[in-house]
């Protein structure tokens, strides 16, 4: 069953009304083309401020009906889990209550279940295969802009499934962000620190990530979309062009995508596939590419990892694939995938900064070391990957074990001291403290054991007497452990 626009609005209104300690409901700055309000629902628990955000949107393409329902229901499931302290289970997939708690207490979860209410209403009352919004395109007999071609990312480049023709179902609109519905999403990205973004579509059972316009390459940073013309209304991307994707980000998209696919498979055995958007078909102006591209187009902006889900299988024809008579199993797959994406968005180090206020400077130092030093070498990136894999479990340990959080916080404070004084050297005690935390992890947390065993960490006993700079070099290269 599917909810009407009014029923979705009612659900988010009830949640915000009944549970104001968890939910805040925001009317976004612009109403839809036909004057309907568009709401965002922010879910959080705990009192920490200055959090990372995850933005989840649905209903972009009107006929892909099940995703707005799945998003709204996921918000309910998380609330119930947090209040009752119960695990969330979808079929064979379980997310422990402690992990849900960590997600909700470390981040802000922003849900916009239906960014395109006019389109959804039209699907339910006139045309069940309508895709776009309900813009009246002046001078034509055709309505609608494809909201997922309207973003300011190579806007108006008619590559693959993108068109400048108002009668096309993939019409990119008269200008980038010409539509109030897309501007609302931009508003959220502009005004909140979103580390992860996902636009939930149907169908095909895919987890997609950048890029959508060209193949990926990771060797030539000078080959970037910022050098390509926009608004050409032709397929103007040169043949043979490949878009640069930072190796660390490529690794992260691949790793997170694979983790999501695995989680969805646990629900009832569906085999989703994780891959770059281009593999579905070429596009420009999409939300996921735009969200990720922002920090490249404007280096002053924080990075947002952008994903697109294509939920649900092919059912034998397009109509029932877009809105099957029983969407419940697909919604459970989707919710498992979205929860996993949120889980993967936890940064344990950030979370420690929230929990142990005095460790915040150390968090900044750790982030800088990760982005500027470790990310520059293959060994360093491997260490980042291992850390990110266990970050959710580490976050849960921090959330549930205050003494452990304090010890990690102390390490971060010491890190800040070392960064502050380039001549300072790691002491035997520093090394012992670090080894002791890892030893604790190795013995108590099955989920964390892999990072504690990482070959790069075999360098730790050799760090005493080194400056922070030298220590990072050793970790990045794994020299002392012979792992280079």
Beta carbon of residue 308, minimum distance to other proteins (angstroms, whole number): 12
Beta carbon of residue 203, minimum distance to other proteins (angstroms, whole number): 6
Nearer to other proteins, 282 or 384 (CB): 282
Nearer to other proteins, 79 or 339 (CB): 79
Beta carbon of residue 167, minimum distance to other proteins (angstroms, whole number): 5
Nearer to other proteins, 109 or 282 (CB): 282
Beta carbon of residue 160, minimum distance to other proteins (angstroms, whole number): 6
Beta carbon of residue 320, minimum distance to other proteins (angstroms, whole number): 10
Nearer to other proteins, 10 or 175 (CB): 10
CA distances from 405 to 16, 353, 411, 470 (A): 31, 10, 10, 27
Beta carbon of residue 116, minimum distance to other proteins (angstroms, whole number): 14
Nearer to other proteins, 321 or 432 (CB): 321
Cα 293 to Cα 6: distance, rounded to the nearest angstrom: 34
Nearer to other proteins, 99 or 161 (CB): 161
Q: How many residues does the chain have?
A: 484
CA distances from 193 to 107, 199, 303, 377 (A): 10, 17, 9, 27
Say if CB 39 and CB 112 are below 8 A apart.
Answer: yes
Residue 368 token pair: 């800088």
Cα 450 to Cα 130: distance, rounded to the nearest angstrom: 48
Cα 162 to Cα 156: distance, rounded to the nearest angstrom: 8
Cα 387 to Cα 448: distance, rounded to the nearest angstrom: 9
23-27 and 39-43 strand pairing: antiparallel
Say if CB 389 and CB 453 are below 8 A apart.
Answer: no
Residue 365 dihedral angles phi and psi, to the nearest 5°: -65, -45
Nearer to other proteins, 7 or 436 (CB): 7
Can you spell out the DSSP letters for 406-435?
HHHHHHHHHHHHHHH-TT-B--HHHHHHHH
Can you give the binding site for other proteins, defined by CB under 8 A? 1-4, 6-7, 10-11, 13-14, 17-21, 65, 76, 79-80, 83-84, 123-132, 136, 141-144, 160-161, 163, 165, 167-171, 203-204, 235, 280-282, 310, 314, 317-319, 321-323, 325
Nearer to other proteins, 264 or 359 (CB): 264
Residue with tokens 């800040």: 416
Beta carbon of residue 212, minimum distance to other proteins (angstroms, whole number): 14
Residue 354 token pair: 């929230």
Can you spell out the DSSP letters for 16-66?
HHH-TTTEEEEE-SS--TTS---EEEEE--SS--S-EEEEEEE-SSTT-TH
Beta carbon of residue 389, minimum distance to other proteins (angstroms, whole number): 30
Beta carbon of residue 159, minimum distance to other proteins (angstroms, whole number): 8
Q: How many CB atoms lie within 10 A of CB 185?
A: 27
Nearer to other proteins, 318 or 368 (CB): 318
Cα 391 to Cα 377: distance, rounded to the nearest angstrom: 20
Beta carbon of residue 385, minimum distance to other proteins (angstroms, whole number): 30
Beta carbon of residue 125, minimum distance to other proteins (angstroms, whole number): 5
Picking from 38, 12, 177, 197, the residue whose alpha carbon sits closest to that of residue 119 is 38
Long-range contacts, 457-460 (Cβ 8 Å, 24+): 457/383, 458/483, 460/431, 460/434, 460/435
Picking from 437, 150, 202, 216, the residue whose alpha carbon sits closest to that of residue 327 is 202
Nearer to other proteins, 142 or 435 (CB): 142
Nearer to other proteins, 13 or 483 (CB): 13
Beta carbon of residue 163, minimum distance to other proteins (angstroms, whole number): 4
């Amino acid at each position: 069953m599917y909810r009407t626009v009014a029923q979705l609005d009612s659900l988010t209104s009830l949640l915000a009304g009944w549970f104001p300690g968890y939910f805040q409901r925001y009317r976004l700055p612009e109403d839809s083309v036909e004057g309907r309000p568009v709401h965002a629902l922010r879910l959080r628990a705990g009192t920490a401020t200055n959090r990372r955000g995850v933005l989840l949107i649905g209903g972009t393409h009107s006929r892909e009906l099940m995703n707005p329902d799945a998003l709204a229901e996921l918000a309910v499931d998380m609330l119930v889990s947090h209040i009752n302290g119960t695990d969330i289970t979808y079929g064979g997939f379980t997310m422990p209550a402690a992990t849900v708690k960590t997600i909700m207490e470390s981040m802000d979860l922003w849900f916009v279940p239906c960014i395109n209410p006019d389109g959804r209403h039209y699907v339910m009352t006139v045309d069940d295969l309508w895709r776009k919004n309900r813009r009246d395109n002046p001078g034509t007999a055709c309505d609608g802009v494809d909201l997922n071609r309207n973003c300011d990312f190579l806007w108006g480049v008619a590559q693959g499934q993108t068109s400048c023709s108002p009668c096309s179902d993939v019409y990119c609109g008269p200008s980038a962000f010409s539509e109030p519905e897309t501007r609302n999403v931009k508003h959220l990205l502009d005004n909140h620190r979103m580390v992860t973004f996902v636009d939930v579509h149907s169908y095909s059972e895919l987890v997609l990530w950048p890029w959508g316009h060209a193949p990926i390459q990771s060797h030539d940073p000078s080959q970037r979309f910022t050098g390509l013309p926009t608004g050409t209304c032709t397929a103007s991307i040169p043949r043979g062009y490949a878009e640069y994707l930072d190796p660390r980000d490529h690794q992260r998209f691949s790793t997170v995508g694979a983790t999501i696919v695995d989680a969805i498979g646990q629900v009832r055995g569906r085999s989703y596939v994780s891959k770059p958007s281009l593999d579905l078909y070429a596009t420009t102006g999409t939300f996921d590419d735009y969200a990720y591209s922002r920090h490249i187009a404007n280096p002053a902006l924080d990075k947002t990892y952008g994903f697109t889900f294509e939920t649900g299988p092919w059912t034998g024809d397009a109509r029932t694939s877009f809105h099957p008579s029983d969407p419940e199993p697909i919604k459970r797959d989707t919710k498992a995938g979205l929860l996993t994406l949120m889980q993967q968005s936890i940064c344990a180090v950030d979370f420690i900064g929230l929990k142990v206020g005095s460790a915040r400077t150390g968090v900044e130092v750790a982030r800088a070391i990760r982005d500027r030093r470790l990310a520059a070498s293959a060994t360093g990136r491997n260490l980042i990957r291992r850390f990110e894999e266990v970050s959710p479990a580490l976050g849960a340990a921090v959330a549930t074990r205050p003494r452990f959080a304090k010890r990690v916080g102390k390490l971060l404070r010491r890190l800040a001291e070392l960064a502050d004084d380039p001549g300072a050297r790691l002491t035997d005690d520093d090394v012992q403290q670090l080894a002791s935390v890892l030893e604790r992890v190795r013995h108590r947390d099955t989920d964390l054991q892999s990072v504690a065993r990482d070959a790069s960490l075999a360098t730790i006993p050799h760090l005493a007497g080194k400056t922070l700079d030298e220590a990072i070099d050793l970790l990045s290269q794994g020299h002392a452990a012979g792992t280079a």
